[in-house]
Amino acid sequence: MILLINKDLSKYVSSGGLKIKLKTVIASHAFHLVLCIRIGQLLRTIPFIGSLLGVVVEYFIRVVFASDISLKSRIGPGLMIVHGHDIVIGGDVLIGENCKILNGVTLGNKDTESAINQQPEIGSNVVIGAGAKILGNIKIGDNVKVGANSVVLSEVPDNHVAVGVPARNMLKP
């Protein structure tokens, strides 16, 4: 868990010593959200009381960060959340390594009335712009950029940019 948090922290502090890292841990509101996610996911693994502790942490995240992030989601190392407010991540979402998520992002179901839980899989090295929505049982490839306020309802191949409503795929320049 320490290695995972350290990898996340390295996204906020690319260089500098212990003093810079400590300042980030103390002062970065966005990093605090990532830290809460990691601690909550760790607490969920405790036998018997883990689920209850997870619910408490999820509630804390909702109240303090105005975000609804399921601790059941699987998130790889190197997560960077910028402006950690108004973010929704569903319980079956899978996020790869080194992903950057801006404020207002939703990763979840396309059809809220369906009993089937179909949520996206996000590859590694993905940047999701502010206000973007990625919905349904789709795969977002590696090295993808999703533009601000885009609504992604279909798969995006590796090394592409998705922009618009609904999002169109364009090859990275």
Instruction: Please check whether residue 36 is in contact with residue 61, taking contact to mean a CB–CB distance below 8 angstroms.
Output: yes
Instruction: Please check whether residue 90 is in contact with residue 114, taking contact to mean a CB–CB distance below 8 angstroms.
Output: no
pLDDT tens string 15-67? 778 888 888 889 899 999 999 999 999 999 999 999 999 999 999 999 999 99
Strands ordered across the beta sheet of 100-101: 80-81, 100-101, 127-128, 145-146, 160-163, 168-171
SS3 101: strand
Check residue 115 and give its pLDDT.
64
Instruction: Please check whether residue 146 is in contact with residue 140, taking contact to mean a CB–CB distance below 8 angstroms.
Output: yes
Check residue 173 and give its pLDDT.
63
Instruction: Please check whether residue 111 is in contact with residue 130, taking contact to mean a CB–CB distance below 8 angstroms.
Output: no
Q: Which residues contact 128 (CB under 8 A, 6 or more apart)?
A: 99, 100, 101, 102, 105, 107, 122, 134, 146
The residues spanned by each domain of the chain are: 2-171
pLDDT tens string 141-157? 999 999 999 999 999 99
CATH class of 2-171: mainly beta
Q: Is the pTM of this model over 0.85?
A: yes
pLDDT tens string 95-145? 999 999 999 999 999 877 766 778 999 999 999 999 999 999 999 999 999
Check residue 61 and give its pLDDT.
97
Cα distances from 94 to residues 25, 26, 74, 118, in angstroms, run 25, 28, 5, 11
Rounded-to-integer distance, Cα 81 and Cα 41, Å: 16
The DSSP result for 64-92, as a single string, is HH--EE-TTSEE-SS-EESS--S-EE-TT
